[in-house]
Chain A
Amino acid sequence: MKHLLSTEDLSLANAVRILDTAEEMAAVGEREVKKLPALRGRTVVNLFFEDSTRTRISFEAAAKRLSADVINFAAKGSSVSKGESLKDTAQTLAAMGADAVVIRHWASGAPHRLAATDWIDAAVINAGDGTHEHPTQALLDAFTMRRHWSKLAGTPSAGADLKGMRVAIAGDVLHSRVARSNVWLLRTLGAEVTLVAPPTLLPIGVEKWPCAVSFDLDETLAQGVDAMMMLRVQGERMNASFFPTTREYSRRWGFDDNRLRALDTLGLKDTIIMHPGPMNRGLEISAAAADSPRSTVLAQVRNGVSIRMAALYLLLSGDTREPATTVTASAAASHAANPNLTYSHQESH
């Protein structure tokens, strides 16, 4: 495993491997000494071109629990804000000996550029790129769902997938990297996904995605849902006519108190409510829903550290990381030719 760039081309075997490793990492988090020596002497750079305190500290905690050295590089106030290019930033980090780069970028595909070019030969982890993907978020969501699903089944979660689980994802799918990563990963894990959104907030081409699409949240709930994931919606979208007002949005597509009560009347006693955070209480999710026993919001945050520990461990630990090789611009071809690279396009579904 060389990079973690997307869930679209993540194989079932690798997805389960990351989830299982995260289970082991979670056990570390429950010990008094929450630290493993696995990545001692390795350097992890958090390269953040977009503000995201939550994701950054999650990766920072993960790296530190694995004893890695962590460097936080925030683009604001740095040389980047003085016009330095991604290429120069990457080459600077390479010269400083970064072993892994955790990159958050406002531009879709920026992590792919780092991985595909010869600017830097470090493991690249996509911590959210534009409106493309946020693979560790999807993995922590799947981790959270898998624990819930296994508990209901009374089976261990290690090695399990999500076959048969009904997941609804509601909100601004168009601009959501979380939705994209979840759709691909949940498909790979065997869950049944329904996207619920106003038609304006679904991308053209969504009909080719491996999921169902609905414009009606109540109808989707009535058909039965095991996990209800709400996506953050920016109120500013109404200024671009994606929806008329925030109130209308909340009424039609928000998880409000009425819908929280509906879960009970529909007999959906085990349905969990998820949100990647940060939440807009009162817009896409009501305070009662966010704070209800069904809510997994804080569990998701906790699990995020375990997932990121697993990702860093699998990318950087000695037995799975192949020797440094020059990655050329034709990275796709060389990846495919290298049998050690488990994330090649050959494995995509």
Chain B
Amino acid sequence: MAEQQQHADNSGAYLIRGAAILGGAAEDILIRDGIIAARGNQLDADGAGVRDATVIDAAGLVALPGMVDIHTHLREPGREDAETVETGTRAAALGGYTAVHAMANSTPVADTAGVVEQVLTLGRTAGWVDVRPVGAVTVGLAGEQLAELGAMADSRAHVRVFSDDGICVHDPVLMRRALEYVKAFDGVVAQHAQEPRLTAGAQMNEGEVSAVLGLAGWPAVAEESIIARDVLLAQHVGSRLHVCHVSTAGSVEIIRWAKSRGVNVTAEVTPHHLWLTDELARSYDPVYKVNPPLRTDADVQALRAALADGTIDVVGTDHAPHPSEHKECEWAQAAMGMTGLETALSVVQHTMIETGLMGWDDFARVTSTAPAAIGRLQDQGRPLETGEPANVILVDPAARWTVDPSKMATMGRNSPFAGRELPGKVMATFFKGHPTVLDGKLNTPYRWPADAVDAAPSGRP
């Protein structure tokens, strides 16, 4: 596709020939100096003042804004055996992402300005995507005392999304206060909706399959009751709520109701909840163990419809890599979570586009525009127009590939899609005008200016 050329720095111009913009008409895109310098038919690079542009033949490819993940676990600091910011963001770039929100459940927890700035620095040092740290809502994710949300908001990491993800902020007073407090800096509380008492020891969706398998059930009502409470709280205090990984048909109904009442709520669905069901637990293979659990086909269909009609705003991967020993064990012993960054685009294409529920323009909305808006990212999720930041991906929708977790860039081998043939492949990812992925392969990272990387108080070398 591209003329083979490694670009170790950020200089260079790229003339993308004939990409279907958001799946529509084919046009050329000229990328230079980190922005979309021109867009149009039969662009003349020389005429645009660019003599050394690398020409990319993008016939048959779809051009989309770089994807933004609202929900990623990069594991660093603390669990570098599971994933590092470097490996996780390589996976993100390969998956078509130009920004990821790194969840706060690291060790130490990202509950102070120091930790979120460390994660920011790690992300910029890696240079594959924008790493946007998520701040914890409560100290140590313990659900007892608010973390210094303002300090994290004011830090270099500029945190706007706060979440105790992995654990529900179940105390209604604490949740109310968090929602109120983040109004001071236009923040949002991203809730992991799971009533803890109803899910003590829960292993999988509670229903017909759990009854047969003898695995402790995680009832839909444990998610729905928290969402119902939180949308009412958000309305009462006039704040912004984001619901992580919505997994049930009932949750969709509550969110639809809340939006109709004008509640400022956004919702997310994972790729795996758009496809997989609790029937897979019959294998007792913990690669299918995730929180919230895989639900029924009726839930899957409701989630697809909700994503298509806008009730659910975004796709978030909940990318959760685990070392193999945490999955090569008994179901009850296994860690919860699945990798997702490198399969998200393909799974959404399979479940939403090839089913006719969505077009690529909708795809751009749910994977880029809307998540960037929720995270208040100024230069992500932008239109593919002249003068906009060049966060652009090229996708081959006709490609077919078989998922092989051992060949992934993430350190996690826990992909529930292993062995499945998926449609769609990311051929190029431009992050700030620099190709982090070319020809479907990892290229080189974007190099941030030294002062953007090294200003961390920890004084990383």
A residues in contact (CB < 8 Å) with B: 8, 85-87, 105-110, 112-113, 116-117, 129-133, 177, 180, 203-206, 208-209, 329-330, 332
Contact = CB atoms under 8 A, between A and B. Distances in A.
Interface string B178-219: 000000000000000000000000010011111111111101
A107 B331 contact: yes
Given A107-B331, A113-B329, 20 more contacts: A85-B325, A85-B329, A86-B330, A87-B328, A108-B203, A108-B214, A108-B284, A109-B213, A109-B215, A112-B284, A113-B284, A113-B331, A116-B284, A132-B214, A133-B214, A204-B206, A204-B207, A205-B211, A209-B211, A332-B283
Nearest to B216: A131
Q: Which of under 10, 10 to 19, 20 to 34, or 35 or more describes the interface residues of B?
A: 20 to 34
Interface of B: 203, 206-217, 219, 283-285, 325, 328-333, 419
A10 to B, nearest CB: 14
Given A204-B210, A205-B208, A108 B329 contact: no
Given A112-B283, A113-B284, A205 B212 contact: yes
19 contacts: A8-B212, A86-B330, A106-B332, A107-B330, A107-B332, A108-B215, A108-B284, A109-B215, A109-B284, A113-B330, A116-B283, A180-B214, A203-B211, A203-B217, A204-B217, A204-B219, A205-B207, A205-B209, A332-B283
**A-B pairs with lowest CB-CB distance, top 5:** A109-B284, A132-B214, A205-B211, A131-B214, A203-B211
Contacts, number: 79
A148 B94 CA distance: 66
A130 B332 contact: yes
Nearest to B206: A204
A110 B203 CA distance: 14
A329 B214 CA distance: 22
A130 B214 contact: yes
A81 to B, nearest CB: 14
From A105, A109, A116, A180, name the one whose CB has the most chain B CB atoms within 10 angstroms: A109
Contacts of B330: 86, 105, 107, 109-110, 113
Contacts of A116: 283-285
A330 B328 CA distance: 14
Nearest to A331: B283
A180 B214 CA distance: 8
A44 B228 CA distance: 54
A1 B333 CA distance: 29
B112 to A, nearest CB: 32
A205 B328 contact: no
Contacts of A130: 214-215, 332
A112 B284 CA distance: 7
B215 to A, nearest CB: 5
